[in-house]
Amino acid sequence: MDVKAKVISSLRKHDIGDEFSYLSGFPKASVLIPLFLREGRVHVLLTVRSTELKHNPGEVCFPGGKADPHDRDEIDTALREALEEISLPPDGVEVVCRFCPLFNKSGLLVTPVVAFISDSFQASSNPDEVSDVFSVPLDFFLKETDHSGYLLPSTKSYVHSFIYTDPITGKIHQIWGLTAFLLILLAVLTFEKKPAFEMGFDLENPVASFREHLQHRLSKL
């Protein structure tokens, strides 16, 4: 089995499908987590939000945004947003799975959609939304180097942060919060390997911990 096929096989075991479609009363959003292979190594594509945006300006994130009434589902939202933000054509995306949705700090219920894209894709950013696009080897998010984290007592969850220096441009990016959490989870599930730091949830059954976190948040609403 080649690298891509192995990754897809590992991730599809954690696909939640339409399990949480009943949560229709909450404002929803989706993010696309684009993976690609470069010299046999899994990379993830990330964006930097425009500094002109009202919410979270300049932060590293995934392509994505709020659901539109015309979107058929969470996947449709993720693909539409990726097309609008970085000109990623939907027919160039191979959707792998959906992870359990999470509430972000703005109260949106965010569904992560994991997909493979071509390694030859060249992003063309919408400057009103995206100021930069870069990629990181996915296994970077299992290493203790350039990582920091702390426990947030109010939610009993860890806040993670990584400092990544792009070897091509020399730019330094901070990747933190929900984006960092999802990248760690993705790396754990992809490589079936524990990170070199405290993650803050059950690594023997991470998806169950994901669901537990969601139910905990729902119980507080």
pLDDT value, residue 198: 84
Q: What is the mean pLDDT of the chain?
A: 90
Q: State which residues form the domain around 152.
A: 3-219
Q: Is 157 exposed, middle or buried (0-12, 13-18, 19+ CB in 10 A)?
A: middle
Q: 88: which DSSP letter?
A: -
**Which three-class secondary structure state does DSSP give residue 43?**
strand
Tell me the pLDDT tens digit for each residue of 171-209: 999 999 989 999 999 999 999 888 999 887 766 776 676
CATH assignment at residue 60 = 3.90.79.10
Distance CA 180, CA 16 (A): 20
Tell me the pLDDT tens digit for each residue of 49-58: 998 888 888 9
If we measure between CA atoms, which residue out of 17, 219, 217 comes closest to residue 107?
217
- Domains of the chain: total: 1
Tell me the pLDDT tens digit for each residue of 98-148: 998 888 877 788 999 999 999 999 999 999 999 999 999 999 999 999 999
Chain-centroid distance of CA 37 in Å reads: 17
Whether the Cβ atoms of residue 130 and residue 120 lie closer than 8 Å to each other: no
Buried b (16+ CB within 10 A) or exposed e, 207-219: bebbbebbeebee
